[in-house]
Amino acid sequence: MRDFRRAPWRPVRDGVYVATLEPATVNVGLVVGADAVLLIDTGSSPEQGAGLADSVVELLGRAITHVVVTHWHFDHYFGLAGIPGVVSYGHESLRARLVGDDIDPEVIRRELGFDAADLVPPTDDISVVRAIDLGGRRIEILAPGAAHTDGDLCIYVPDARVVFTGDLVETSADPAVGPDSSLAGWSMALDGVLSGAGHADDLLFVPGHGDPVDAMAVAEQQAALASMWASAEDCFREGVTIDDVIADLNGPREHAWPFAAQHVVDILPHVYAELRRRGVTPRRGLPIASL
Ligand SMILES: [Zn+2]
């Protein structure tokens, strides 16, 4: 059995900590105020969440009082069930995931070793924005719109100049695009986060996975996402199939994609599906009249 009790918290700013948890190498955050202790994301299982709660008591001599779940993916959310008695925040769309088809009890039992019936919704839903006073320290929770999922939350700690982005930003790999992502919305969402926090040099962005980065690195990832969307849309409109794109990735007409070839192969079906959902249609060439 993995030892979930260990959470190697490392300070990143005054009263702000980050720990990185396996098996998903996910970052979780801790923001300490005079009256309250906020945990950002919860790990992959109730057991891991309980271990996190213990590790915070060990670190601070105080218990977690508030939790924000950045999005519904297992490595960020499933630990919440192991942290009872706290005020917890999630995007308003998260509750529906518990009763939909996205969470498969069989997979959870097999892969993560617990009963999906143990999962709990957050106590409070966020639709757009919420500020919380932790005692001498205000934090802001922002839902910047559909991006990595249809319900991502970012957490801004103004006095420490830190933004926790969830998987809106990843620095250990290219950003993960799935069936619940919106590549059309993603770069706009990052625009809102960057401009909301002031786009300044002293900002520290803690990604969902990977090392913290500055605003410039976030802007670079934003540009890559915008470029991916634009390139995919061009190909789709020109009637270029996914198979054609894949063939080109290794051929002489290599398209200038912003991500590693395998990542483009993996995410393009989701991007094409979004283009179809949005009603984008391939342009049809005019029939050539035979003279
Ligand atoms: Zn995710």
For the chain, give every domain's residue range. Answer: 10-214
Ranges 22-36, 204-218, 275-289: which has the least confidence:
275-289
Task: Please work out, in degrees rounded to the nearest 5, the angle formed at the alpha carbon of residue 289 by the alpha carbons of 286 and 291.
Answer: 160
Give every CB contact of residue 95 below 8 A, 6+ residues apart in sequence. 121, 122, 125
pLDDT above 90 coverage of the chain, percent: 81
Angstrom CA distances, 224 to 148, 183, 207, 256, stand at 14, 11, 16, 11
pLDDT above 70 coverage of the chain, percent: 93
**Strands (E) located in the chain:** 10-13, 16-21, 26-32, 37-40, 66-68, 87-91, 124-126, 129-133, 138-142, 154-157, 162-170, 204-209
CA of 40 to the centre of ligand 1 (A): 14
Average per-residue pLDDT in the chain?
Answer: 92
Q: State mean pLDDT over 214-234.
A: 95
In which order are the strands placed within the sheet that holds 138-142?
Answer: 129-133, 138-142, 154-157, 162-170, 204-209
CA of 287 to the centre of ligand 1 (A): 45
Give the SS3 label for residue 49. Answer: helix
CA of 27 to the centre of ligand 1 (A): 11
Q: State mean pLDDT over 264-287.
A: 88
CA of 186 to the centre of ligand 1 (A): 13
pLDDT band for 197, please (50, 70, 90 cuts): confident
CA of 146 to the centre of ligand 1 (A): 12
CA of 249 to the centre of ligand 1 (A): 26
CA of 175 to the centre of ligand 1 (A): 9
CA of 191 to the centre of ligand 1 (A): 19
CA of 70 to the centre of ligand 1 (A): 9
Q: State mean pLDDT over 128-143.
A: 97
Which fold would CATH assign to domain 10-214?
Answer: Metallo-beta-lactamase; Chain A (3.60.15)
Residue 164 CB burial class (10 angstroms; 0-12, 13-18, ≥19): buried
Angstrom CA distances, 193 to 26, 96, 188, stand at 20, 25, 9
Residue 232 has pLDDT above 50, yes or no: yes
CA of 251 to the centre of ligand 1 (A): 32
Q: Determine contact, residues 112/44, Cβ cutoff 8 Å.
A: yes
Residue 24: in which H helix or E strand, if any? none
The larger pLDDT score, comparing residue 204 to residue 260, is at 204
CA of 82 to the centre of ligand 1 (A): 20
pLDDT band for 254, please (50, 70, 90 cuts): low
CA of 183 to the centre of ligand 1 (A): 14
Separation of alpha carbons 24 and 184, rounded Å: 26
CA of 71 to the centre of ligand 1 (A): 7
**Cβ-based neighbour number of residue 267 at 10 Å:** 20
Q: State mean pLDDT over 143-166.
A: 97
Res 263: pLDDT: 93
Angstrom CA distances, 17 to 39, 41, 222, 286, stand at 9, 12, 25, 60
CA of 285 to the centre of ligand 1 (A): 39
For ligand 1, a single-atom ion, the residues with CB < 5 A are 73, 167
CA of 176 to the centre of ligand 1 (A): 7
Ranges 179-183, 247-251, 253-257: which has the least confidence:
253-257
CA of 74 to the centre of ligand 1 (A): 8
CA of 204 to the centre of ligand 1 (A): 20
Q: State mean pLDDT over 156-162.
A: 97
The larger pLDDT score, comparing residue 54 to residue 248, is at 54
Bridge partners of 90?
Answer: 125
Angstrom CA distances, 34 to 31, 37, 42, 131, 137, stand at 10, 8, 22, 16, 8
Bridge partners of 28?
Answer: 19
Give every CB contact of residue 100 below 8 A, 6+ residues apart in sequence. none
CA of 103 to the centre of ligand 1 (A): 13
Separation of alpha carbons 127 and 125, rounded Å: 7
CA of 148 to the centre of ligand 1 (A): 7
